[in-house]
Amino acid sequence: MSLTVSVEGIWKSYGGHDVLRGVNYSFNPERIYALMGPNGSGKTTLLRVLSLLETADRGEVIYTDGTTAPLEHNIALRRRITLLLSSTGLFNASVMKNASYGLSIRGIRGDEARERAFGALSLVGLGEMERQNALTLSSGEAQRLAMARAIAHEPEVLFLDEPTASVDIENTQAIEGVILGMKGTRSIILSTHNEAQARRLADVVLYLRDGLIMEG
Ligand SMILES: Nc1ncnc2c1ncn2[C@@H]1O[C@H](COP(=O)(O)OP(=O)(O)OP(=O)(O)O)[C@@H](O)[C@H]1O
Ligand SMILES: [Mg+2]
């Protein structure tokens, strides 16, 4: 069975402000979810909690793959999931080095890493730019590189925080094409402010309102 994630009763507050107020939801495997909601409604917070970068004040994030009881939140589980943040965090090295970063921290190096990273770069249309320094890329190219880096190691659950924020139409189409190309292969949970994009990409559109998830 594929890796699946669900949340039960997630509460998260910052300085007395309740951002998430008991969120319950089971994400089906192999589905694409779009998470919408106004600025400050808690989308990034929820993605950070789901991807185990941040712990909730209360409630559970439950990962299962059908083999045992809920999986421990250990490094082995963390390696099977990825969160792409809208601030991309590329570093001062070649496009190839950046694209293969997620592979190298998972112990995949050498020719295999290069081939897989090159495959991901080709998917986002950056195959020809593997030697360019990542910090010299345009913001649309940088966002596509961040996408390549997020998918090169084929995470089983992929979280994308506003994957096309401040990206032009052509790059948005490229990134959407990559997301649609993964449809049916893993759970993808992405946040967006673009209703039309949510409908183009997602099987299920979710809204965060008053700290709770509603299906749209
Ligand atoms: N580490 C933090 N410390 C204090 N407050 C925080 C922290 N992280 C998030 N918040 C607050 O929590 C609320 C929700 O923020 P979050 O980034 O999750 O919203 P969002 O829905 O992603 O918004 P946007 O659409 O602007 O990206 C905001 O009021 C934000 O200021
Ligand atoms: Mg956000």
The residue whose CB lies within 8 Å of the most ligand 1 atoms, and thus the one to mutate among 23, 44, 166, is: 44
Q: Tell me: the pLDDT tens digits for 88-139?
A: 689 999 999 999 999 999 999 999 999 999 999 999 999 999 999 999 999 8
- In angstroms, how far is CA 106 from the centroid of its own chain? 17
Token pair in block for residue 164? 């096309």
* pLDDT of 87 above 70: no
The residue whose C-alpha atom lies closest to atom 13 belonging to ligand 1 is 40
N-terminal to C-terminal alpha carbon distance within the chain:
27
Alpha helical stretches, state H, 94-191: 95-99, 101-104, 110-123, 139-151, 169-181
How much is the pLDDT for 89? 85
On whether both 52 and 74 belong to a single domain, the answer is yes
Nearest ligand 1 atom to the CA of 193 is 25
From 100, 126, 154, the end of a domain falls on 154
* pLDDT of 148 above 80: yes
How much is the pLDDT for 133? 97
How much is the pLDDT for 1? 72
From 154, 185, 200, the end of a domain falls on 154
- Are 93 and 125 spatial neighbours (Cβ–Cβ below 8 Å)? no
Total domain count, the chain: 2
Q: What is the rounded CA–CA span in Å between residue 22 and residue 178?
A: 33
How much is the pLDDT for 53? 95
On whether both 130 and 163 belong to a single domain, the answer is no
* pLDDT of 216 above 90: no
- Alpha carbon of 189 to ligand 2 centroid (Å): 13
Q: What is the rounded CA–CA span in Å between residue 189 and residue 28?
A: 10
Q: Tell me: the pLDDT tens digits for 168-184?
A: 999 999 999 999 999 99
For 60, other C-beta atoms within 10 Å of its C-beta total 12
User: Minimum-distance ligand to the CA of 48?
Assistant: 1
On whether both 41 and 103 belong to a single domain, the answer is no
On whether both 147 and 166 belong to a single domain, the answer is no
Q: Tell me: the pLDDT tens digits for 5-50?
A: 999 999 999 999 999 999 999 999 999 999 999 999 999 999 999 9
- Alpha carbon of 161 to ligand 2 centroid (Å): 7
The residue whose CB lies within 8 Å of the most ligand 1 atoms, and thus the one to mutate among 10, 19, 159, is: 19
Q: For CA atoms 43, 48, 54, 57, give the dihedral sign.
A: positive
On whether both 75 and 160 belong to a single domain, the answer is yes
Give the domain range for residue 31.
Answer: 1-80+156-216
Token pair in block for residue 163? 């994957």
* pLDDT of 210 above 80: yes
Q: What is the rounded CA–CA span in Å between residue 113 and residue 49?
A: 29
Q: For CA atoms 100, 35, 143, 127, give the dihedral sign.
A: positive
Is residue 85 situated within a structural domain?
A: no
Ligand 1 site residues (CB inside 6 A) read 14, 19, 37, 39-45
62 forms beta bridges with 6
- Are 27 and 49 spatial neighbours (Cβ–Cβ below 8 Å)? no
Q: What's the pTM?
A: 0.95
At 25, which CATH number?
A: 3.40.50.300
On whether both 182 and 147 belong to a single domain, the answer is no
Hey, is 47 helix, strand or coil?
helix
How much is the pLDDT for 125? 92
Which H or E element spans position 12? strand 4-14
Q: What is the DSSP letter of 198?
A: H
| Confidence at 167, pLDDT banded by 50, 70, 90 | confident
Q: For CA atoms 44, 165, 204, 77, give the dihedral sign.
A: negative
On whether both 142 and 210 belong to a single domain, the answer is no
* pLDDT of 86 above 90: no
On whether both 97 and 131 belong to a single domain, the answer is yes
Q: Tell me: the pLDDT tens digits for 63-75?
A: 999 877 899 999 9
